[in-house]
Amino acid sequence: MPEQVANDGTRWSKNSYSEDLDTAFSCSKWSKQKLSPDEVVEDFIKRCDEDAPIFMFLHGGYWQAEELSKDNNSFLGAPLIKNGAVFVTVGYSLVPECTLHDMVEQVQKVVVFVAKRFPHTRGVFISGHSAGGHLAAMMLSVDWSSLLQDKKNIIKGILPISGIFDVRPITKTYINEPLSLTESSAASVSPHLLVDAIPECNLGVKVHLLFTEYDPPVLKQQAQDYSKLLSSSGLDVEMTMLPEKDHFQELIELTDENCLFQKVFLRMMGLTS
């Protein structure tokens, strides 16, 4: 093999293979762009996501099911990535290791991290399924002006899927056993009860509530009630029902870019006409 020269002047040949592995496998060092290896990588990242919308997804599982972790929901992002979005699947601690309030704070910190990681994005769109939909809706109550300052309006859309917006009834079910919520603590993390306190920086956020025909009636009713409250507070709200599907089938449908919900996502992010 003839001697090769990397863009930093390093020479490498087959005979020196064992001595120059760092150079041999460093792709950025072999780029012929007029940039340093570090600049090559930085330029690549910038070009890939400079203006791309960010779609964040929060998994469900009633805040306690480990088998429904973020790693098991990454398949949902393929249609979004294909159409130009950056897809972020978000994990969070579960009960009984932490409280529902802790989860809200964790998601809030992830949103701040993502917003700073992609400073040129046209907007962050936060979605989630079931319990994840609840956490997504809770982000409407965060005062981003104090956390993101000049990027306070970077949150452009909230898209809960079959979410829980009034947590109080759950205190009277088996679901609450590991949650240990009281009526009072449940009220403090119920998006339905926090509409009047939505910070001014979030009043321009578009909200789209999604659910299925065969979701539990209580979830559909909560979505309708929450929609009315948001609308009466001046927020731009839409609702979409996926026909002939249930609470679990809707996630499988999201692998198809022609799925009704995927079309809603792409339209909100401005990735389709």
How confident is the model over 224-253, as pLDDT tens digits?
A: 999 999 999 999 999 999 999 999 999 999
> Mean pLDDT across the chain, nearest whole number?
88
| pLDDT surpassing 50 at residue 124 | yes
- The model's confidence at residue 45, banded by pLDDT at 50, 70 and 90, is low
| pLDDT surpassing 80 at residue 7 | no
Domain assignment present for residue 32? The answer is: no
Domain assignment present for residue 147? The answer is: yes
Task: List Cα–Cα distances, 66 to 55, 59, 60, 96, 107, in angstroms.
Answer: 22, 10, 10, 11, 17
Helix, strand, or coil here: 11?
strand
Question: Of 231, 235, 237, nearest to 210 (Cα)?
Answer: 237
Exposed, middle or buried: residue 47 (CB in 10 Å: 0-12, 13-18, 19+)? exposed
Distance of CA 168 to the CA centre of its chain: 25
- Is 8 or 160 the better-scoring residue by pLDDT? 160
Beta strand residue intervals within 59-108, DSSP E? 86-90
Query: What's the pLDDT score for residue 93?
Result: 94
- Calculate mean pLDDT across residues 36-59: 75
Query: What's the pLDDT score for residue 68?
Result: 64
Query: What's the pLDDT score for residue 95?
Result: 93
Neighbours of 1 (CB within 10 A): 8
Domain assignment present for residue 35? The answer is: no
Question: Of 180, 55, 191, nearest to 128 (Cα)?
Answer: 55
- Is 170 or 15 the better-scoring residue by pLDDT? 170
Containing domain of residue 198, as a range? Answer: 53-268
- Calculate mean pLDDT across residues 81-93: 93
- Is 95 or 12 the better-scoring residue by pLDDT? 95
The residues annotated with a catalytic role in the active site are: 130, 215, 247
Domain assignment present for residue 48? The answer is: no
Cβ partners under 8 Å of residue 37, min gap 6: 7, 8, 26, 28, 29, 31
| pLDDT surpassing 50 at residue 21 | yes
Packing angle between helix 131-138 and helix 100-117, nearest 10 degrees? 60
Domain assignment present for residue 44? The answer is: no
pLDDT of 94-121, one tens digit each? 999 999 999 999 999 999 999 999 989 9
Which CATH number is 133's domain given?
3.40.50.1820
| pLDDT surpassing 50 at residue 273 | no
Domain assignment present for residue 41? The answer is: no
Rounded distance between C-alpha atoms, residue 91 and residue 65, angstroms: 12
Neighbours of 265 (CB within 10 A): 28
- Calculate mean pLDDT across residues 116-144: 96
Looking at the structure of the chain, the number of domains it has is 1
Q: Mind spelling out the 3-state secondary structure of 96-160?
A: CCCCHHHHHHHHHHHHHHHHHHCCCCCCEEEEEECHHHHHHHHHHHCCHHHHCHHHCCCEEEEEE
Domain assignment present for residue 9? The answer is: no
Domain assignment present for residue 28? The answer is: no
| pLDDT surpassing 60 at residue 16 | no
Helix, strand, or coil here: 248?
coil
| pLDDT surpassing 60 at residue 25 | yes
| pLDDT surpassing 60 at residue 17 | no
